[in-house]
């Protein structure tokens, strides 16, 4: 079955990983800008990283037969220094015009501090000023509910926000309803330690249905799995769910989500 991985950090994966993903049916990936495992020391580091996401990683994916799309932003783990964040935000407009960029992301909260919120407001304003889609990171573990609630409150206060063009990612059992009932897309991340397993994700599908639901691996340099989406497909099949439902979750939903960007050019080559 062909599938999308709408949130994966390709920069941290090997070419062997990409070849395996393609062999298993991956046709499109979305790569949000992220924390690289250390705090970057200057705005030029972000400039070069944005170039990597828009110039080099698309070529690596294309060599495996996968289309690559990116999101530009400043992750919450580097949002505490508001002055530095403003310099990075100033770099975004030029990259948002690049042909494989879907919007602003992943942005959000980490420790839910005042400075993080200030930076987030700047990133949201930059996105809305240029009519961009947005992809939100929600905090891990004990800060998940608080951070998700704070993000939704910030978005609710801005009348320019169109929920249909926003994804609240890394949802879990206690936050997915918040995103869906507010009209947003809800991302569920198949990550073995701090997010959801394929089994828990299948539980959420059974509770809430497939409407505006995305599943992704968020695979990076930590304990993660670039084949997490195929594992989810296998889990859903073991539970007796029809391929039509599974295809909606791993292919049709992300296709509809990505198609809201004017830069999205993927055209299905064959029936799956």
Q: What is the DSSP string of 35-85?
A: --SS--SSHHHHHHHHHIIIIIHHHHHHHHT-EEEEEE---GGG-S-HHHH
Q: Is 103 inside a domain boundary? A: yes
Tokens of 108: 């959000």
Query: Is 59 among the domain residues?
Result: no
Predicted TM-score (pTM) above 0.85:
yes
How much of the chain exceeds pLDDT 90, in percent?
Answer: 93
For residues 180 and 187, what is the distance between their CA atoms, to the nearest angstrom? 10
Full domain range(s) for residue 138? 72-189
CA distance 84 to 78: 9
Claim to verify: residue 149 and residue 243 sit in the same structural domain: no
| pLDDT at residue 272 greater than cutoff 60 | no
Q: Are residues 178 and 224 in the same domain?
A: no
Do 83 and 184 reside in the same domain of the chain? yes
pLDDT tens, position by position, 53-97: 999 999 999 999 999 999 999 999 999 999 999 999 999 999 999
Nearest residue to 4 (alpha-carbon basis) of 218, 213, 263, 251: 251
16-25 pLDDT per residue, tens: 999 999 999 9
Q: Please tell me the distance from the alpha carbon of residue 214 to that of residue 218, in angstroms, as a whole number.
A: 12
């Amino acid at each position: 079955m062909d599938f999308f991985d709408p949130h994966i950090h390709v920069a941290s994966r090997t070419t062997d990983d990409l070849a395996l993903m393609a062999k298993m049916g991956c046709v499109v990936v979305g790569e949000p800008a992220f924390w690289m495992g250390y705090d970057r020391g200057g705005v030029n580091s972000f400039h070069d990283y944005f170039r990597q996401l828009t110039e080099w990683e698309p070529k690596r994916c294309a060599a495996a037969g996968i289309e690559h799309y990116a999101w530009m932003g400043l992750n919450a783990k580097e949002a505490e220094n508001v002055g530095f964040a403003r310099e990075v935000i100033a770099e975004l407009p030029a990259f948002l015009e690049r042909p494989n960029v879907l919007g602003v992301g992943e942005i959000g909260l980490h420790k839910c501090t005042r400075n993080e919120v200030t930076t987030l407001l700047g990133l949201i304003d930059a996105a809305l000023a240029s009519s961009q889609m947005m992809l939100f990171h929600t905090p891990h573990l004990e800060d998940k509910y608080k951070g998700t609630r704070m993000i939704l409150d910030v978005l609710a206060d801005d009348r320019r926000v169109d929920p249909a063009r926003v994804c609240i990612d890394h949802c879990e059992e206690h936050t997915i309803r918040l995103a869906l009932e507010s009209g947003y897309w809800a991302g569920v991340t198949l990550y073995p330690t701090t997010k959801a397993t394929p089994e828990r994700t299948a539980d959420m599908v059974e509770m809430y249905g497939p409407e505006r639901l995305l599943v992704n691996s968020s695979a990076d340099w930590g304990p993660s799995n670039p084949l997490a989406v195929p594992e989810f497909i296998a889990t859903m099949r073991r539970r007796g769910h029809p391929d039509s439902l599974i295809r909606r979750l791993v292919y049709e939903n992300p296709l509809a989500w990505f198609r809201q960007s004017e830069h999205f050019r993927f055209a299905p080559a064959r029936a799956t």
